[in-house]
Amino acid sequence: MRELLWSNTFRRALRRVVKRQPWLLDAITATLTSLQKDPFAPQLAAHKLKGPLAGTWACSAGYDLRIVFDFVRNPERGEEDDIFLIEIGTHDEVY
């Protein structure tokens, strides 16, 4: 299973999202678990980003909630990359 690496920006944004909409916490937790198991699971709708965020990926954590992440190489784990969580928020906030 991949390891999730949380950036400080992600942690702050997650606190902000949960403070505004506490009912989303369960959906976010489920999305992070799915992302850790299989980042390309169909329900996540993971896609590579273009423009200023080119090279990073995003997935859906609910109707208008997105998680921006990147794959990072961890030589100790062999072939499987870890997932670096960059940002979470609404579509307009993260793009």
Give the per-residue pLDDT at 79. 73
Decide if 34 contacts 41 (C-beta within 8 A): yes
Q: How far is the C-alpha of 9 from the C-alpha of 72, rounded, in Å?
A: 17
Q: What is the pLDDT of residues 34-58, one digit of tens each?
A: 999 999 999 999 999 999 999 999 9
Distance of CA 16 to the CA centre of its chain: 15
- pLDDT for 9 beyond 90: yes
Domains of the chain (ranges, CATH numbers): 4-94 (3.30.2310.20)
Q: Would you state the pLDDT for residue 95?
A: 87
Cβ-based neighbours of 42, under 8 Å, separated by 6 or more: none
